A = this chain, B = another copy of it.
Amino acid sequence: MEVYLIRHGIAAERGTYTNDDERPLIEKGRIKTKQVAEKLRAINLKFDLILTSPLIRAHQTAEIFQKVGLTNQIEIFESLAPDSDINKWLEWYSQFSEPNSNCKLALVGHQPDLGNWTEMLVWGTVKEQIVVKKAGIVGLNVPKIENPLGKSELFLLTSPKWLI
């Protein structure tokens, strides 16, 4: 199954909100995220489901994707919050029934987790050597097997700069 890992757009600076979870996207972040979403829609990408980190900046990113028609369904997934555990998602994935044979999933979250999940899925180990910029995207072919760690293919890694 194609699984896309999407980093939230540019948000208010760290430290500007008492609760870091509440930092929202700033205008530049909303604009760039919308441009990324529109480009993906223009090449006919559509997600059956977007799972998002519960943090505001991630949820807002997912909502922008929904507004341009990239998905009909967003669900909050607690284990996409920072320092997230890929095993929680793998457990969810093993039980996820694909709604169609061409099913595509998107996960909206944070760095360095998304880069680390990518490395875990493709190589089975983490070296923190994947750069995922804000509103950047990773594309993976994740096989529907009990343990896809080290068994997935990487076909896309891009920042807004190259996409829009």
Please list the residues of chain A having a beta carbon within 8 angstroms of any beta carbon in chain B. 43, 119, 122-123, 125, 127, 129-131, 133, 141, 150, 152-159, 161-163
Is A131 a contact partner of B158 (Cβ separation < 8 A)? no
Minimum-distance CB pairs A-B, first 6: A131-B155, A157-B157, A129-B153, A122-B129, A158-B158, A130-B154
**Which of B127, B129, B155, B161 is close to A43, meaning CB atoms less than 8 Å apart?**
B161
Tell me the nearest residue of chain B to A133, going by C-beta. B155
With the chains together, A116 CA to B152 CA distance in Å? 15
Is B122 a contact partner of A127 (Cβ separation < 8 A)? yes
Is A156 a contact partner of B162 (Cβ separation < 8 A)? yes
**Oligomer copy total:** 2
Is A129 a contact partner of B158 (Cβ separation < 8 A)? no
Chain B residues within 8 Å of A119, by CB: 123
Is A162 a contact partner of B163 (Cβ separation < 8 A)? yes
Q: How far is the CB of A116 from chain B (nearest CB, A)?
A: 13
Tell me the nearest residue of chain B to A43, going by C-beta. B161
Is A157 a contact partner of B159 (Cβ separation < 8 A)? no
Chain B residues within 8 Å of A133, by CB: 155
Q: How far is the CB of A78 from chain B (nearest CB, A)?
A: 29
Q: How far is the CB of A2 from chain B (nearest CB, A)?
A: 11
With the chains together, A85 CA to B111 CA distance in Å? 34
**Which of B122, B123, B162 is close to A158, meaning CB atoms less than 8 Å apart?**
B162
Chain B residues within 8 Å of A153, by CB: 129-131
With the chains together, A154 CA to B130 CA distance in Å? 5
